[in-house]
Amino acid sequence: MKTLNITLSISLVFVLIGFSCLAQNTTFKISKDIRASEITSSASSSFGPDQSVNHLTDGSGIHNNLHDNNGSALTMWHTTENPVASIPAKGLPLCKAWVRFDFSTQKSFNKIWIWNHNQENLTSRGFRLIKVYGTTNEIDWFELTTLELPDAKNLNGKASEIVVNEKKALKSVIIAAESNWGGNVYGLSGVKFIAELEVNESALPFPNDFECAPTSIYRYCKDGKPGREVVLTFKGANLYQPSEIEVTADSRTITTSVPFRKDGLETATIILPSGVGVEKEIQIFVSLKAGSKIIRKSFVLPKQRQWTVYIYPHAHVDIGYTNTQANVEIIHKRNLINGMKLAKETANYPEGARYIWNPEVMWPVERYLKNATPTEREELLDAIRKGYIHLDAGYINDNTSVTADEEFPGFFGEAKRLEKLTGVPVSTIDQTDVPGMSWGIVPMAAQFGIKYVFAPFNGSDRTGLADKFNFKPFWWIGQDGVSKVLFLQPGDYTPGAREKGFKYWPLMAGQKDPNKLLQIVKTDHPRENFIDGYLWEKLKQLEGNSSYPYDLFPMTWAMADNTPIDADLPDAVKSWNEEYAFPHLVIASSTDIMSAFEKKYGDIIPSFRGDFTEYWTDGLGAAAKETAMNRKSKERLIQTDVLWSMLHPREKAPRPEMNEAWRNVLMGSEHTWCYMNPYQADMQDEIWGVKQNFFNTAEKSSIQLLANALSAVSTDKSNIFCVFNTLSWARNGLITISNDQSEGVLSVRDENNKLVESQRLSTGELVFLASDVPALGTKNYTLSTESGGKSGVKMAKGNILDNGLVKILIDPVTGDITSLKDKTGVEFVNPGDACNMNSFRYLLGSGKPASSGPQYAANVTTPFSTTLQKPVHATGPTEVQTLIKENGPLLAAIEVTSKADGCNKLTREVRVIAGMPEIEINNLVDKIAITEKEGIHFGFSFNIPNGRTRIDVPWSVVEIDADQLPAANRNWICFQRWLDISNEGKGITWCSLDAPTFESGNITANIIGGAFHSPEWIQHLPLSSTIYSWALNNHWHTNFPLSQEGKLSFRYRILPHQYAYDAVKANRFGLEQSQPLIATPVKEKISLNTLVKIDNLNVFISIIKTSEDGKSMIIRLRSLSDKPEKVNLSFPSFKPQSIRTCVADETPGEEAGNSINMLPHGITSLIIE
Alpha helices in 606-754 (DSSP H): 624-647, 655-669, 681-710
Question: Is the peptide bond between 564 and the residue preceding it cis, with omega within 30 degrees of 0?
Answer: no
User: Which pLDDT score, from 0 to 100, does residue 853 have?
Assistant: 77
Whether the predicted pLDDT of 25 surpasses 60:
no
The span from the CA of 288 to the CA of 25, in Å, is: 23
Instruction: Please report, rounded to a whole number, the percentage of residues in the chain having pLDDT higher than 70.
Output: 97
> Domains in the chain, ordered, with CATH?
34-202 (2.60.120.260), 209-301 (2.60.40.1930), 308-607 (3.20.110.10), 719-787+1075-1085 (2.60.40.1180), 796-1057 (2.70.98.30), 1093-1168 (2.60.40.1180)
Averaged pLDDT score across all residues of the chain: 93
Give CA 316 to chain center in angstroms: 11
The span from the CA of 817 to the CA of 808, in Å, is: 7
Of the two residues 329 and 853, the one the predictor is more confident about is: 329
Mean pLDDT of 148-167: 94
Cα dihedral 536→540→545→546 (10° resolution): 100
Model confidence pLDDT, tens digit, residues 376-407: 999 999 999 999 999 999 999 999 999 999 99
Model confidence pLDDT, tens digit, residues 230-241: 999 999 889 998
Model confidence pLDDT, tens digit, residues 732-761: 999 999 999 999 999 999 999 999 999 999
The span from the CA of 759 to the CA of 75, in Å, is: 78
Mean pLDDT of 521-532: 95
User: Which pLDDT score, from 0 to 100, does residue 188 have?
Assistant: 97
Whether the predicted pLDDT of 1003 surpasses 70:
yes
User: Which pLDDT score, from 0 to 100, does residue 328 have?
Assistant: 98
Model confidence pLDDT, tens digit, residues 604-657: 999 999 999 999 999 999 999 999 999 999 999 999 999 999 999 889 999 999
Report helix, strand or coil for 675. Answer: strand
Lowest mean per-residue pLDDT among 45-59, 199-213, 681-695: 199-213
The span from the CA of 491 to the CA of 455, in Å, is: 8
Mean pLDDT of 140-146: 95
The span from the CA of 392 to the CA of 313, in Å, is: 13
Mean pLDDT of 288-299: 94
Mean pLDDT of 768-792: 93
Model confidence pLDDT, tens digit, residues 447-473: 999 999 999 999 999 999 999 999 999
The span from the CA of 779 to the CA of 1086, in Å, is: 8
End-to-end CA distance of the chain: 65
Mean pLDDT of 660-679: 96
Position 869 confidence tier, pLDDT thresholds 50, 70, 90 = low
Position 855 confidence tier, pLDDT thresholds 50, 70, 90 = confident
Model confidence pLDDT, tens digit, residues 60-104: 999 888 999 888 899 999 999 999 999 999 999 999 999 999 999
Amino acid identity for residue 246 in this structure: E
- Nearest CA among 925, 958, 952, 950 for reference residue 1051: 925
Phi, psi of 508 (to 5 degrees): -95, -35
Cα dihedral 134→136→142→146 (10° resolution): -20
Mean pLDDT of 1052-1077: 98
Whether the predicted pLDDT of 4 surpasses 80:
no
Q: Is the dihedral of CA 1159, 1161, 1162, 1165 positive or negative?
A: positive
Position 313 confidence tier, pLDDT thresholds 50, 70, 90 = very high
Whether the predicted pLDDT of 21 surpasses 60:
no
Model confidence pLDDT, tens digit, residues 329-360: 999 999 999 999 999 999 999 999 999 999 99
Report helix, strand or coil for 580. Answer: coil
Report helix, strand or coil for 240. Answer: coil
- Nearest CA among 25, 167, 149, 157 for reference residue 99: 149
Whether the predicted pLDDT of 863 surpasses 70:
no
The span from the CA of 435 to the CA of 969, in Å, is: 9
Whether the predicted pLDDT of 1084 surpasses 90:
yes
User: Which pLDDT score, from 0 to 100, does residue 20 have?
Assistant: 37
Report helix, strand or coil for 514. Answer: helix
Position 17 confidence tier, pLDDT thresholds 50, 70, 90 = very low
